[in-house]
Amino acid sequence: MLKKIETNQLRVGMYIQELCSSWMDTPFWQKSFMIDDQNLLSKVLSTKIKEAWIDTSKGLDVFVPADPDPPLPSRPIVEAQESVAAVRPVRPPFSDIASVSMADEVGRATQIVTKSKQAVFSMFNEARMGKAVEVENALPLVEEIATSVMRNSGALIGLARLKTKDDYTYMHSIAVCALMIALSKQLGLNDEQTREAGLAGLLHDIGKMMVSADILNKPGKLTDAEFVLVKQHPVAGYKMLLEVKGLSEVALDVCLHHHEKVDGSGYPKRLTGDQISLFAKMGAVCDVYDAITSNRPYKQGWCPAESVKKMAEWSKGHFDETVFQAFVRSIGIFPVGTLVRLESGRLGVVVEQQVGKSLLSPKVRVFFSTKSMAYIMPELIDLARPGLQDKIAAREDAVKWGLKDINRYWLGDATISG
């Protein structure tokens, strides 16, 4: 039996099905959990959350005092036979979410990435210990990421690229989730398919929890034996996800087949062309892009634009051409964070793609003059502005010009904490 009660009625031994609050506004990554000690109860009560749904079939019911005339709660207890989802407000279609600028979204995206990293870390480590993944707990995370991507895809995708070698596996899952959602939007998939793609991206590498951290974080080249172990992660993840109740075939398929290639040279099944599903083809593109743009123990990540160029060279044998072209349209030829040189001789970082405009005309924040070899006052330039004569001449390498921490020019004041 589900009951909606005030949080001041909660006690140790109750099972919280859902807190009546946005996922981002709670200190918990799980949607549902048992209150198994006083510390956890105190943590719930310390929030501003006023109401919660409890499941009395999984935990204790509301305490009823022995007093024959107990004081009534300030609000009546609501009982429900149906699921909490049935009484939760219906979310608006993704198409109704208004686009915002990078400046308006990057702060919110930073908060989402920070909390999502904590959530994925907890979820994956529970999987490492043999606990089944609870899909219901992952869905709010996917929803928050999707909403951010719909508002401005470059913000969260750009932030998720800025990962360290220590949090790579967890941040990679968040990045691929966001990239899958952006690609779904570009391909015209419906909202339910988009959510499925995002969840598949989030869980696609969960099998790496069965691979030794020493191998995953090895700074040098893997031995043949170590590489064999790493290549087993899709099958290991698939077996783990088979135990998950309510998980769709999409997540299972992407987990198992995101390393397949259209020419049949991938693994684990060496599938070719149409043998690979649309979602697995999407997973392959998103997985590779984030992997090669990220700093790893054994190499520095490539520039986003260089990565797109390299992937285009591989695309005939590796990726589905239609999916890859849609992917490029979703992130741009010069993705957020790319260092470019304008024809005027100024260097700048791509800040934002222009929705409905040329992929060659993003917004760029210039900050360095190659003519005077000196920093200049940063200026945001809209390369799609009518009458503007300047345009991108080439992608540039920050090391070549002795530039450091160029990400601050598109991040602004946003930082990732935790």
Which residue type occupies 23? W
Secondary structure of residue 412 in the 3-state scheme? coil
Q: What integer pLDDT is reported at residue 90 of this predicted model?
A: 60
pLDDT in tens, the chain (418 residues): 888 888 888 988 988 888 888 877 888 878 888 898 898 888 888 888 888 888 888 888 987 665 555 555 555 555 554 444 444 446 779 999 999 999 999 999 999 999 999 999 999 998 889 888 888 889 999 999 999 999 999 999 999 998 877 788 899 999 999 999 999 999 999 999 999 999 999 999 999 999 998 898 888 889 999 999 999 999 999 999 999 988 999 999 999 999 999 999 999 999 999 999 999 999 999 999 999 999 887 788 899 999 999 999 987 889 999 999 999 999 999 999 999 999 999 999 999 998 778 899 999 999 999 999 999 999 999 999 999 999 999 999 999 999 988 999 998 754 443 3
Q: What integer pLDDT is reported at residue 402 of this predicted model?
A: 93
Distances (CA, A) of 359 to 41, 242, 332, 354, 356: 51, 40, 6, 7, 9
The whole-angstrom separation of Cα 268 and Cα 257 is: 7
Q: What integer pLDDT is reported at residue 108 of this predicted model?
A: 94
Q: What integer pLDDT is reported at residue 73 of this predicted model?
A: 53
Distances (CA, A) of 323 to 183, 277, 281, 320, 385: 8, 11, 7, 5, 30
- Show the tokens assigned to 101: 């600028």
* Residues 318/208, Cβ–Cβ less than 8 Å: no
- 49 burial type by CB count under 10 A (0-12 exposed, 13-18 middle, 19+ buried): middle
Q: Where in the chain is the domain with CATH 1.10.3210.10?
A: 100-331
- 405 burial type by CB count under 10 A (0-12 exposed, 13-18 middle, 19+ buried): exposed
Counting every residue written for the chain, the total comes to 418
- According to DSSP, the residues that pair with 364 across neighbouring strands are 350, 381
pTM over cut 0.75: yes
Domain 100-331 homologous superfamily, CATH: Hypothetical protein af1432 (1.10.3210.10)
Within 8 A by CB and 6+ apart from 348, the residues are 339, 340, 342, 364, 365, 366, 367, 368, 381, 409
Q: What integer pLDDT is reported at residue 392 of this predicted model?
A: 96
Helix H or strand E segment including 239: helix 233-242
